Structure 1
């Protein structure tokens, strides 16, 4: 089982196609962030513009990650973008926004290990996946224990 499959199964998410679809959704989330105007910085800016700056800032900081609702994800990204991504993934839009709400806090958190956004504003697949190595176990812990 790949790391992405492990992450997806630990989230309890699956697509109609099975575990590979979940892996694709996680990879799609990373690709989406990187393809934002400004990459991760652009995504962070969108959260701030939509009144959810405190949420995204908690993911960057070294403390507890605040949860984000699927509705907030849809509001920040835009319903059209969520629908477009959902169509590509072959899942309903509400399922995709729920998956992104589960995955984005951890992706952003792992991409900013010292509370700093990478200068290039891109999620590096290799380094993020490497830091996600213990993430499957993390989902069984409280968020306050994430840096333990």
Structure 2
């Protein structure tokens, strides 16, 4: 699954999450998700390693490990989303979609874990992170050996 497919899946989950997002255009959600994840509207520039680093920096690697592994995904709270992305980015995401920030955050609690889980299925995270060197760099950063 490439990054564009991940964004489409995340947008679908977001719109189905009960976050009052069902009336939003899929492309608008994709664009907002891409921006939240540090990329351009088309998904280019998204760095999943940086997202994992943010999770690690917030003390949430146990969540990331549950998403990247083959077991059940641990849930993320709206407070934890704030720790990972920051309130400014979350507010910008909600404003871009013209919705209440609390509703936007609730939708993201469904979309973000599923996106990272899907990115890690079948080795696709390896491709998205820039191959073996990208994964090694990401792992070394996670364990403070950069």
TM-score range, shorter chain: 0.5 to 0.7
- Alignment check: 8 A CA contact 1:59 1:108 kept: yes
1:12 maps to which of 5, 18, 22: 18
Q: 1:55: how far off?
A: 0.3
Label 1:49 to 1:65 Cα distance change in 2 as closer, same or farther (>3 A).
same
Deviations 1:71-108 (A, max 9, x none): 10012100111111111111122221111111111111
The residue matched to 1:113 in structure 2 has which SS?
helix
Q: What's the CA shift for 1:34?
A: 5.3
1:61 to 53, 66, 69: 69
Unaligned ranges ≥5, structure 1: 123-148
Counterparts of 2:79 and 2:26, CA distance in 1: 20
- RMSD value over aligned CA atoms? 3.1
Contact 1:47 1:53 in 2 (8 A): yes
Distance in 1, matches of 2:50 and 2:121, equals 18
Q: Does 1:49 align with 2:86?
A: no
Gaps of 5+ in 2: 1-7, 131-146
**If the length of structure 2 is used for normalisation, what is the TM-score?**
0.66
**Structure 2 CA distance, aligned partners of 1:116 and 1:3?**
15
Q: How far apart, in 1, do the equivalents of 2:9 and 2:56 lie?
A: 31
Note the alpha carbon deviations across 1:12-61, whole angstroms, 9 max, x for none: 2323xx52346633552245325297611100110010011110111111
Distance 1:23 1:4, change over 3 A: farther
Taking structure 1 as the reference length, the TM-score comes to 0.65
